A = this chain, B = another copy of it.
Amino acid sequence: MTDTVKYLLDESRIPRAWYNLLADLPAPLPPVLHPGTGKPIGPDDLAPLFPMALIAQEVSAEREIEIPGPVRDVYRQWRVTPLYRARRLEQVLQTPARIYYKYEGVSPAGSHKPNTAVAQAFYNKEAGVKRLCTETGAGQWGSSLAFAGALFGLDVQVFMVRVSYDQKPYRRALMETYGARCVASPSAQTQSGRAILAQRADHPGSLGIAISEAVEVAAGRDDTKYALGSVLNHVLLHQTVIGLEAMEQMALAGDEPDVIVGCTGGGSNFAGIAFPYVGRQLRGGRKVRVVAIEPAACPSLTRGRYAYDYGDTAHLTPLTKMHTLGSTFTPPGFHAGGLRYHGMAPLVSHLKELGLIEARAHHQSQVFDAGVTFARAEGIVPAPEANHAVKGAIDEALRCREEGRSEAILFNLCGHGHFDMQAYIDHFAGRLKDLDYDEAELAMALAGLPSVQAA
Protein backbone atom coordinates (compact mmCIF):
# COMPACT_ATOMS: atom_id res chain seq x y z
CA MET A 1 0.00 0.00 0.00
CA THR A 2 1.29 3.45 -0.91
CA ASP A 3 0.61 5.71 1.99
CA THR A 4 -0.36 9.24 2.64
CA VAL A 5 2.61 11.32 3.80
CA LYS A 6 2.36 14.03 6.43
CA TYR A 7 4.57 17.11 6.45
CA LEU A 8 4.46 18.63 9.88
CA LEU A 9 6.40 21.56 11.27
CA ASP A 10 7.35 22.41 14.79
CA GLU A 11 5.13 25.07 16.40
CA SER A 12 8.14 27.40 16.39
CA ARG A 13 7.46 27.61 12.64
CA ILE A 14 4.01 29.17 13.05
CA PRO A 15 4.34 32.36 11.00
CA ARG A 16 5.27 35.49 12.98
CA ALA A 17 3.49 37.76 10.50
CA TRP A 18 0.46 37.56 8.25
CA TYR A 19 1.00 38.27 4.55
CA ASN A 20 -0.80 41.33 3.13
CA LEU A 21 -1.49 41.03 -0.60
CA LEU A 22 -2.33 44.74 -0.82
CA ALA A 23 1.42 45.41 -0.77
CA ASP A 24 2.02 43.55 -4.03
CA LEU A 25 -1.02 44.31 -6.18
CA PRO A 26 -0.17 45.46 -9.73
CA ALA A 27 -3.25 47.71 -9.73
CA PRO A 28 -4.83 49.25 -6.64
CA LEU A 29 -7.99 47.80 -5.10
CA PRO A 30 -11.03 50.01 -5.88
CA PRO A 31 -11.88 52.04 -2.77
CA VAL A 32 -14.73 51.24 -0.38
CA LEU A 33 -17.49 53.82 -0.85
CA HIS A 34 -19.98 55.50 1.42
CA PRO A 35 -23.45 54.58 0.08
CA GLY A 36 -24.81 58.09 0.62
CA THR A 37 -21.99 60.22 -0.75
CA GLY A 38 -20.36 57.80 -3.16
CA LYS A 39 -17.03 58.94 -1.70
CA PRO A 40 -14.36 56.66 -0.25
CA ILE A 41 -14.95 56.00 3.41
CA GLY A 42 -12.40 56.70 6.12
CA PRO A 43 -11.46 54.78 9.28
CA ASP A 44 -13.99 56.74 11.36
CA ASP A 45 -16.85 55.46 9.25
CA LEU A 46 -16.00 51.92 10.33
CA ALA A 47 -15.28 52.72 13.98
CA PRO A 48 -18.78 51.85 15.24
CA LEU A 49 -18.31 48.31 13.90
CA PHE A 50 -14.65 47.40 14.35
CA PRO A 51 -11.79 48.19 16.73
CA MET A 52 -9.20 50.55 15.24
CA ALA A 53 -6.50 47.87 15.01
CA LEU A 54 -8.61 45.85 12.57
CA ILE A 55 -9.59 48.95 10.58
CA ALA A 56 -5.89 49.74 10.23
CA GLN A 57 -5.28 46.21 8.92
CA GLU A 58 -8.15 46.62 6.45
CA VAL A 59 -6.29 49.42 4.64
CA SER A 60 -2.64 48.70 5.48
CA ALA A 61 -0.10 48.58 2.66
CA GLU A 62 2.56 46.84 4.78
CA ARG A 63 3.56 43.49 3.29
CA GLU A 64 3.95 41.83 6.68
CA ILE A 65 1.71 42.43 9.67
CA GLU A 66 2.97 40.97 12.93
CA ILE A 67 0.82 38.31 14.58
CA PRO A 68 0.43 39.32 18.26
CA GLY A 69 1.95 36.94 20.80
CA PRO A 70 -1.35 36.00 22.49
CA VAL A 71 -2.81 35.08 19.06
CA ARG A 72 0.18 32.88 18.24
CA ASP A 73 -0.17 31.32 21.70
CA VAL A 74 -3.70 30.22 20.84
CA TYR A 75 -2.71 29.17 17.30
CA ARG A 76 -0.20 26.80 18.89
CA GLN A 77 -3.02 24.59 20.10
CA TRP A 78 -3.56 23.23 16.56
CA ARG A 79 -1.07 24.98 14.29
CA VAL A 80 1.11 24.25 12.31
CA THR A 81 -1.73 22.28 10.65
CA PRO A 82 -0.65 19.19 8.70
CA LEU A 83 0.05 19.22 4.99
CA TYR A 84 -0.48 15.81 3.42
CA ARG A 85 0.62 14.20 0.19
CA ALA A 86 -2.52 12.29 -0.84
CA ARG A 87 -0.71 9.20 -2.09
CA ARG A 88 -3.70 6.93 -1.53
CA LEU A 89 -5.99 9.27 -3.50
CA GLU A 90 -3.42 9.51 -6.31
CA GLN A 91 -3.43 5.72 -6.50
CA VAL A 92 -7.23 5.52 -6.65
CA LEU A 93 -7.26 8.13 -9.44
CA GLN A 94 -4.34 6.48 -11.26
CA THR A 95 -2.93 9.94 -11.88
CA PRO A 96 0.68 10.98 -12.45
CA ALA A 97 -0.15 14.19 -10.55
CA ARG A 98 1.17 14.77 -7.05
CA ILE A 99 -1.75 15.85 -4.86
CA TYR A 100 -1.13 17.78 -1.64
CA TYR A 101 -3.69 19.10 0.81
CA LYS A 102 -3.46 21.41 3.75
CA TYR A 103 -5.86 20.26 6.49
CA GLU A 104 -7.52 22.98 8.58
CA GLY A 105 -10.07 20.64 10.17
CA VAL A 106 -7.76 19.99 13.14
CA SER A 107 -8.76 23.26 14.84
CA PRO A 108 -11.10 22.95 17.85
CA ALA A 109 -14.01 24.29 15.79
CA GLY A 110 -13.10 22.00 12.89
CA SER A 111 -12.29 24.54 10.16
CA HIS A 112 -9.98 27.40 9.15
CA LYS A 113 -12.30 29.99 10.70
CA PRO A 114 -10.56 30.20 14.11
CA ASN A 115 -7.48 31.67 12.35
CA THR A 116 -9.33 34.98 12.12
CA ALA A 117 -11.81 34.49 14.98
CA VAL A 118 -8.96 34.34 17.50
CA ALA A 119 -7.29 37.43 16.01
CA GLN A 120 -10.55 39.39 15.96
CA ALA A 121 -11.41 38.40 19.53
CA PHE A 122 -7.92 39.45 20.65
CA TYR A 123 -8.06 42.94 19.06
CA ASN A 124 -11.58 43.54 20.33
CA LYS A 125 -10.60 42.48 23.85
CA GLU A 126 -7.59 44.82 23.69
CA ALA A 127 -9.93 47.67 22.70
CA GLY A 128 -12.14 47.08 25.74
CA VAL A 129 -15.05 45.57 23.83
CA LYS A 130 -17.37 43.37 25.90
CA ARG A 131 -19.54 41.73 23.26
CA LEU A 132 -19.26 40.56 19.64
CA CYS A 133 -22.16 40.16 17.23
CA THR A 134 -21.90 38.15 14.06
CA GLU A 135 -23.79 36.12 11.48
CA THR A 136 -23.26 32.51 10.47
CA GLY A 137 -24.46 30.26 7.66
CA ALA A 138 -23.72 26.58 8.24
CA GLY A 139 -22.22 27.52 11.60
CA GLN A 140 -18.48 27.12 11.05
CA TRP A 141 -17.87 30.82 11.54
CA GLY A 142 -20.29 31.21 14.44
CA SER A 143 -18.80 28.28 16.33
CA SER A 144 -15.29 29.58 15.70
CA LEU A 145 -16.12 33.02 17.09
CA ALA A 146 -17.87 31.34 20.02
CA PHE A 147 -14.67 29.37 20.69
CA ALA A 148 -12.51 32.53 20.47
CA GLY A 149 -14.95 34.48 22.65
CA ALA A 150 -14.75 31.79 25.35
CA LEU A 151 -10.95 32.04 25.40
CA PHE A 152 -10.85 35.85 25.61
CA GLY A 153 -13.86 36.32 27.90
CA LEU A 154 -16.12 38.05 25.35
CA ASP A 155 -19.88 37.58 25.07
CA VAL A 156 -20.78 36.32 21.61
CA GLN A 157 -24.16 36.62 19.91
CA VAL A 158 -24.66 34.79 16.62
CA PHE A 159 -27.43 35.38 14.08
CA MET A 160 -27.69 32.04 12.31
CA VAL A 161 -29.42 31.78 8.92
CA ARG A 162 -32.84 30.22 9.69
CA VAL A 163 -32.55 27.30 7.24
CA SER A 164 -29.22 26.25 8.80
CA TYR A 165 -30.49 26.93 12.33
CA ASP A 166 -33.20 24.35 11.69
CA GLN A 167 -31.07 21.92 9.64
CA LYS A 168 -27.96 21.97 11.84
CA PRO A 169 -28.94 21.91 15.52
CA TYR A 170 -25.58 20.37 16.38
CA ARG A 171 -23.56 23.34 15.11
CA ARG A 172 -25.84 25.48 17.25
CA ALA A 173 -25.20 23.19 20.22
CA LEU A 174 -21.47 23.61 19.64
CA MET A 175 -21.81 27.42 19.87
CA GLU A 176 -23.83 27.04 23.05
CA THR A 177 -21.30 24.64 24.52
CA TYR A 178 -18.74 27.42 24.07
CA GLY A 179 -21.15 29.76 25.87
CA ALA A 180 -22.40 31.84 22.91
CA ARG A 181 -26.03 32.80 22.28
CA CYS A 182 -27.44 31.75 18.94
CA VAL A 183 -30.56 33.31 17.35
CA ALA A 184 -32.35 32.25 14.13
CA SER A 185 -32.22 34.98 11.46
CA PRO A 186 -34.38 36.78 10.38
CA SER A 187 -35.27 37.44 14.02
CA ALA A 188 -37.65 39.76 15.84
CA GLN A 189 -34.69 41.27 17.72
CA THR A 190 -33.75 43.82 15.03
CA GLN A 191 -35.49 46.27 12.72
CA SER A 192 -33.92 44.55 9.69
CA GLY A 193 -35.17 41.18 10.87
CA ARG A 194 -38.68 42.40 11.67
CA ALA A 195 -38.94 44.07 8.23
CA ILE A 196 -38.13 40.76 6.50
CA LEU A 197 -40.49 38.77 8.74
CA ALA A 198 -43.30 41.23 8.00
CA GLN A 199 -42.94 40.38 4.31
CA ARG A 200 -42.62 36.66 4.85
CA ALA A 201 -43.00 35.08 8.28
CA ASP A 202 -41.30 31.82 7.25
CA HIS A 203 -38.35 33.42 5.43
CA PRO A 204 -35.42 30.90 5.27
CA GLY A 205 -32.89 33.68 5.83
CA SER A 206 -29.62 34.42 4.07
CA LEU A 207 -26.14 35.53 5.06
CA GLY A 208 -26.99 39.02 3.77
CA ILE A 209 -29.94 39.29 6.16
CA ALA A 210 -28.01 37.85 9.11
CA ILE A 211 -25.21 40.38 8.48
CA SER A 212 -27.77 43.20 8.57
CA GLU A 213 -29.02 42.02 11.95
CA ALA A 214 -25.58 41.63 13.48
CA VAL A 215 -24.40 45.00 12.14
CA GLU A 216 -27.54 46.69 13.45
CA VAL A 217 -27.05 45.34 16.97
CA ALA A 218 -23.34 46.18 17.01
CA ALA A 219 -23.86 49.72 15.68
CA GLY A 220 -26.43 50.43 18.37
CA ARG A 221 -24.24 49.68 21.41
CA ASP A 222 -20.99 51.16 22.63
CA ASP A 223 -19.67 48.00 24.26
CA THR A 224 -20.49 45.83 21.25
CA LYS A 225 -18.65 45.37 17.97
CA TYR A 226 -19.31 43.40 14.82
CA ALA A 227 -17.19 40.52 13.52
CA LEU A 228 -17.24 39.16 9.99
CA GLY A 229 -16.00 35.69 9.05
CA SER A 230 -14.91 36.35 5.47
CA VAL A 231 -14.91 38.91 2.60
CA LEU A 232 -13.01 41.78 4.29
CA ASN A 233 -9.30 42.38 3.72
CA HIS A 234 -8.33 41.86 7.37
CA VAL A 235 -10.17 38.54 7.51
CA LEU A 236 -8.37 37.27 4.41
CA LEU A 237 -5.12 38.60 5.87
CA HIS A 238 -5.50 36.45 9.01
CA GLN A 239 -6.05 33.35 6.87
CA THR A 240 -2.70 33.69 5.12
CA VAL A 241 -1.11 31.59 7.88
CA ILE A 242 -2.46 28.67 5.85
CA GLY A 243 -0.50 29.47 2.69
CA LEU A 244 2.59 30.65 4.54
CA GLU A 245 2.80 27.36 6.41
CA ALA A 246 2.06 25.42 3.21
CA MET A 247 5.05 27.09 1.50
CA GLU A 248 7.40 25.83 4.20
CA GLN A 249 5.82 22.39 4.18
CA MET A 250 6.02 22.10 0.39
CA ALA A 251 9.71 22.97 0.69
CA LEU A 252 10.00 20.14 3.23
CA ALA A 253 8.38 17.88 0.64
CA GLY A 254 10.88 19.17 -1.92
CA ASP A 255 8.08 20.20 -4.24
CA GLU A 256 6.28 23.29 -5.55
CA PRO A 257 2.60 23.55 -6.57
CA ASP A 258 1.77 24.01 -10.25
CA VAL A 259 -1.93 24.43 -9.41
CA ILE A 260 -3.60 25.68 -6.23
CA VAL A 261 -7.28 24.93 -5.61
CA GLY A 262 -9.68 26.32 -3.00
CA CYS A 263 -13.43 26.62 -2.55
CA THR A 264 -14.98 30.09 -2.48
CA GLY A 265 -17.99 31.46 -0.64
CA GLY A 266 -16.81 34.78 0.75
CA GLY A 267 -13.27 33.90 -0.26
CA SER A 268 -11.31 33.62 2.98
CA ASN A 269 -10.03 30.04 2.98
CA PHE A 270 -9.20 30.36 -0.71
CA ALA A 271 -7.28 33.57 -0.03
CA GLY A 272 -5.56 31.90 2.90
CA ILE A 273 -3.93 29.21 0.81
CA ALA A 274 -3.52 31.24 -2.41
CA PHE A 275 -2.46 34.78 -1.54
CA PRO A 276 1.08 34.05 -0.34
CA TYR A 277 1.69 32.19 -3.63
CA VAL A 278 0.03 34.90 -5.75
CA GLY A 279 2.13 37.52 -3.97
CA ARG A 280 5.34 35.59 -4.61
CA GLN A 281 4.43 35.40 -8.31
CA LEU A 282 3.66 39.13 -8.39
CA ARG A 283 7.09 39.83 -6.92
CA GLY A 284 8.63 37.91 -9.83
CA GLY A 285 8.58 34.44 -8.27
CA ARG A 286 7.36 31.12 -9.59
CA LYS A 287 4.14 31.21 -11.63
CA VAL A 288 1.22 29.16 -10.35
CA ARG A 289 -2.30 28.50 -11.65
CA VAL A 290 -4.91 29.33 -9.00
CA VAL A 291 -8.40 27.88 -9.31
CA ALA A 292 -11.47 28.90 -7.26
CA ILE A 293 -14.33 26.40 -7.07
CA GLU A 294 -17.79 27.72 -6.25
CA PRO A 295 -21.30 26.22 -6.04
CA ALA A 296 -23.29 26.33 -9.30
CA ALA A 297 -26.27 27.46 -7.21
CA CYS A 298 -24.48 30.59 -5.97
CA PRO A 299 -21.88 31.40 -8.64
CA SER A 300 -20.68 34.91 -7.83
CA LEU A 301 -17.29 34.59 -9.55
CA THR A 302 -18.51 32.80 -12.68
CA ARG A 303 -21.93 34.41 -13.14
CA GLY A 304 -21.96 37.54 -10.97
CA ARG A 305 -21.26 41.10 -12.09
CA TYR A 306 -18.11 42.96 -11.02
CA ALA A 307 -19.74 46.03 -9.53
CA TYR A 308 -20.20 48.06 -6.36
CA ASP A 309 -22.68 46.43 -4.01
CA TYR A 310 -23.74 46.19 -0.40
CA GLY A 311 -22.50 43.40 1.80
CA ASP A 312 -25.91 42.90 3.38
CA THR A 313 -29.58 42.84 2.48
CA ALA A 314 -30.75 45.84 4.53
CA HIS A 315 -27.99 48.02 3.03
CA LEU A 316 -26.35 48.94 6.33
CA THR A 317 -22.81 48.28 5.07
CA PRO A 318 -20.56 50.43 2.86
CA LEU A 319 -20.25 49.62 -0.84
CA THR A 320 -17.41 47.43 -2.08
CA LYS A 321 -16.51 46.52 -5.63
CA MET A 322 -16.82 42.78 -6.02
CA HIS A 323 -18.31 39.96 -8.03
CA THR A 324 -21.90 39.95 -6.86
CA LEU A 325 -25.21 38.30 -7.61
CA GLY A 326 -26.96 41.30 -6.05
CA SER A 327 -27.56 41.87 -2.36
CA THR A 328 -31.24 40.87 -2.67
CA PHE A 329 -30.38 37.53 -4.28
CA THR A 330 -31.36 34.56 -2.09
CA PRO A 331 -29.48 31.40 -3.11
CA PRO A 332 -31.34 28.07 -2.98
CA GLY A 333 -30.84 26.01 0.18
CA PHE A 334 -28.02 23.68 -0.88
CA HIS A 335 -25.84 21.97 1.70
CA ALA A 336 -22.66 24.05 1.63
CA GLY A 337 -24.22 26.81 3.73
CA GLY A 338 -20.84 28.49 4.14
CA LEU A 339 -20.81 29.26 0.40
CA ARG A 340 -24.31 30.79 0.23
CA TYR A 341 -23.26 34.44 -0.09
CA HIS A 342 -24.22 36.85 -2.85
CA GLY A 343 -20.82 38.56 -3.04
CA MET A 344 -17.14 37.71 -3.18
CA ALA A 345 -14.22 39.21 -1.28
CA PRO A 346 -13.09 42.40 -3.08
CA LEU A 347 -9.48 41.14 -3.10
CA VAL A 348 -10.44 37.81 -4.67
CA SER A 349 -12.69 39.62 -7.18
CA HIS A 350 -9.84 41.98 -8.04
CA LEU A 351 -7.48 39.06 -8.77
CA LYS A 352 -10.14 37.53 -11.02
CA GLU A 353 -10.42 40.79 -12.96
CA LEU A 354 -6.64 40.94 -13.28
CA GLY A 355 -6.60 37.44 -14.75
CA LEU A 356 -4.53 36.08 -11.85
CA ILE A 357 -7.05 33.41 -10.85
CA GLU A 358 -9.55 31.13 -12.60
CA ALA A 359 -13.00 30.08 -11.38
CA ARG A 360 -15.28 27.09 -11.97
CA ALA A 361 -18.72 26.19 -10.63
CA HIS A 362 -20.08 22.72 -9.78
CA HIS A 363 -23.36 21.18 -8.69
CA GLN A 364 -23.57 19.53 -5.32
CA SER A 365 -24.00 15.89 -6.38
CA GLN A 366 -20.67 15.98 -8.28
CA VAL A 367 -19.08 17.70 -5.34
CA PHE A 368 -20.26 15.02 -2.88
CA ASP A 369 -19.14 12.21 -5.20
CA ALA A 370 -15.67 13.75 -4.99
CA GLY A 371 -15.92 14.01 -1.21
CA VAL A 372 -16.82 10.32 -0.80
CA THR A 373 -13.95 9.27 -3.08
CA PHE A 374 -11.64 11.38 -0.95
CA ALA A 375 -12.98 10.04 2.37
CA ARG A 376 -12.52 6.40 1.33
CA ALA A 377 -8.97 7.05 0.15
CA GLU A 378 -7.69 9.49 2.76
CA GLY A 379 -9.90 8.73 5.77
CA ILE A 380 -11.01 12.32 6.36
CA VAL A 381 -14.65 13.24 5.71
CA PRO A 382 -14.67 16.80 4.31
CA ALA A 383 -17.24 19.51 5.00
CA PRO A 384 -19.62 20.19 2.08
CA GLU A 385 -17.77 23.46 1.43
CA ALA A 386 -14.42 21.66 1.32
CA ASN A 387 -15.85 19.07 -1.08
CA HIS A 388 -15.82 21.81 -3.72
CA ALA A 389 -12.05 22.08 -3.39
CA VAL A 390 -11.74 18.29 -3.43
CA LYS A 391 -13.77 18.19 -6.67
CA GLY A 392 -11.51 20.85 -8.20
CA ALA A 393 -8.36 18.99 -7.20
CA ILE A 394 -9.64 15.64 -8.49
CA ASP A 395 -10.57 17.25 -11.81
CA GLU A 396 -7.07 18.70 -12.14
CA ALA A 397 -5.57 15.30 -11.29
CA LEU A 398 -7.72 13.60 -13.94
CA ARG A 399 -6.67 16.24 -16.47
CA CYS A 400 -3.04 15.42 -15.63
CA ARG A 401 -3.80 11.74 -16.26
CA GLU A 402 -5.33 12.52 -19.65
CA GLU A 403 -2.49 14.81 -20.62
CA GLY A 404 0.15 12.53 -19.13
CA ARG A 405 1.53 15.41 -17.07
CA SER A 406 2.99 15.08 -13.60
CA GLU A 407 1.95 18.34 -11.99
CA ALA A 408 1.81 19.18 -8.31
CA ILE A 409 -1.69 20.12 -7.12
CA LEU A 410 -2.17 21.77 -3.74
CA PHE A 411 -5.62 22.29 -2.26
CA ASN A 412 -7.05 23.56 0.98
CA LEU A 413 -9.19 21.09 2.91
CA CYS A 414 -10.74 23.83 4.98
CA GLY A 415 -12.83 21.76 7.38
CA HIS A 416 -14.23 18.36 8.36
CA GLY A 417 -17.81 17.28 7.77
CA HIS A 418 -18.69 15.85 11.20
CA PHE A 419 -21.49 18.37 11.62
CA ASP A 420 -22.75 17.86 8.08
CA MET A 421 -23.45 14.15 7.96
CA GLN A 422 -27.09 14.74 7.05
CA ALA A 423 -25.81 15.97 3.69
CA TYR A 424 -23.97 12.67 3.22
CA ILE A 425 -27.08 10.74 4.22
CA ASP A 426 -29.07 12.70 1.63
CA HIS A 427 -26.35 12.09 -0.94
CA PHE A 428 -26.35 8.31 -0.41
CA ALA A 429 -30.16 8.27 -0.51
CA GLY A 430 -30.10 10.10 -3.87
CA ARG A 431 -31.93 13.03 -2.30
CA LEU A 432 -29.27 15.69 -3.05
CA LYS A 433 -30.82 17.80 -5.76
CA ASP A 434 -28.61 19.79 -8.12
CA LEU A 435 -30.29 23.04 -7.21
CA ASP A 436 -30.22 25.94 -9.63
CA TYR A 437 -30.78 29.54 -8.82
CA ASP A 438 -33.74 31.35 -10.34
CA GLU A 439 -32.56 33.18 -13.49
CA ALA A 440 -35.30 35.78 -13.17
CA GLU A 441 -34.41 36.45 -9.55
CA LEU A 442 -30.76 36.86 -10.47
CA ALA A 443 -31.65 39.29 -13.27
CA MET A 444 -33.78 41.30 -10.87
CA ALA A 445 -31.08 41.33 -8.18
CA LEU A 446 -28.47 42.48 -10.70
CA ALA A 447 -30.84 45.16 -12.05
CA GLY A 448 -31.15 46.45 -8.51
CA LEU A 449 -27.43 47.01 -8.03
CA PRO A 450 -26.64 50.53 -6.76
CA SER A 451 -25.62 52.89 -9.57
CA VAL A 452 -22.86 54.52 -7.54
CA GLN A 453 -19.36 54.54 -9.05
CA ALA A 454 -16.03 55.51 -7.58
CA ALA A 455 -15.35 59.22 -8.01
Q: A147-B379, A376-B178 are in contact. Are A3 and B74 (CB under 8 A)?
A: yes
| A40 in the interface (beta carbon within 8 A) | no
| A176 in the interface (beta carbon within 8 A) | yes
**How many of these chains are in the complex?**
2
Interface string of A1-27 (1 = CB under 8 A from B): 101111010110000000000000000
A-B contact pairs, 29 of them (CB 8 A): A1-B73, A1-B151, A3-B74, A3-B76, A3-B77, A4-B76, A5-B76, A8-B8, A8-B10, A106-B106, A108-B381, A109-B379, A150-B379, A169-B421, A169-B422, A169-B425, A170-B170, A173-B421, A173-B422, A173-B424, A174-B421, A174-B424, A176-B428, A177-B372, A177-B376, A177-B424, A177-B428, A178-B379, A416-B418
* Residues A425 and B88 in contact, CB atoms below 8 Å apart: no
* Residues A418 and B8 in contact, CB atoms below 8 Å apart: no
Cα separation A257 to B109 with both chains bound (whole Å): 29
- Give the Cβ gap from A424 to chain B, nearest Cβ, in Å: 5
Contacts of A376 in B (CB 8 A): 150, 177-179
- Give the Cβ gap from A139 to chain B, nearest Cβ, in Å: 11
Contacts of A421 in B (CB 8 A): 169-170, 173-174, 177, 419
Cα separation A77 to B76 with both chains bound (whole Å): 19
| A100 in the interface (beta carbon within 8 A) | no
Contacts of A152 in B (CB 8 A): 1
Q: Which of A338-375 contact B (CB under 8 A)?
A: 372, 375
Cα separation A443 to B151 with both chains bound (whole Å): 48
| A84 in the interface (beta carbon within 8 A) | yes
- Give the Cβ gap from A277 to chain B, nearest Cβ, in Å: 25
Contacts of A30 in B (CB 8 A): none
CB closest chain-B residue, reference A380: B108
| A110 in the interface (beta carbon within 8 A) | yes
| A70 in the interface (beta carbon within 8 A) | yes
Q: A169-B425, A376-B150 are in contact. Are A6 and B11 (CB under 8 A)?
A: yes
The tally of residues in A whose CB lies under 8 Å from a CB in B reads 47
- Give the Cβ gap from A165 to chain B, nearest Cβ, in Å: 13
Q: Which of A254-282 contact B (CB under 8 A)?
A: none
Contacts of A147 in B (CB 8 A): 379
Contacts of A70 in B (CB 8 A): 1, 3
Contacts of A76 in B (CB 8 A): 3-6
CB closest chain-B residue, reference A371: B177
CB closest chain-B residue, reference A6: B76
Contacts of A170 in B (CB 8 A): 170, 418, 421-422, 425
* Residues A173 and B428 in contact, CB atoms below 8 Å apart: yes
CB closest chain-B residue, reference A80: B8
Contacts of A110 in B (CB 8 A): 418
Interface string of A411-436 (1 = CB under 8 A from B): 00000101101101100100000000
Contacts of A8 in B (CB 8 A): 8, 10-11
Contacts of A174 in B (CB 8 A): 381, 418, 421, 424
Contacts of A73 in B (CB 8 A): 1, 3
Q: A6-B77, A70-B1, A77-B6 are in contact. Are A88 and B379 (CB under 8 A)?
A: no
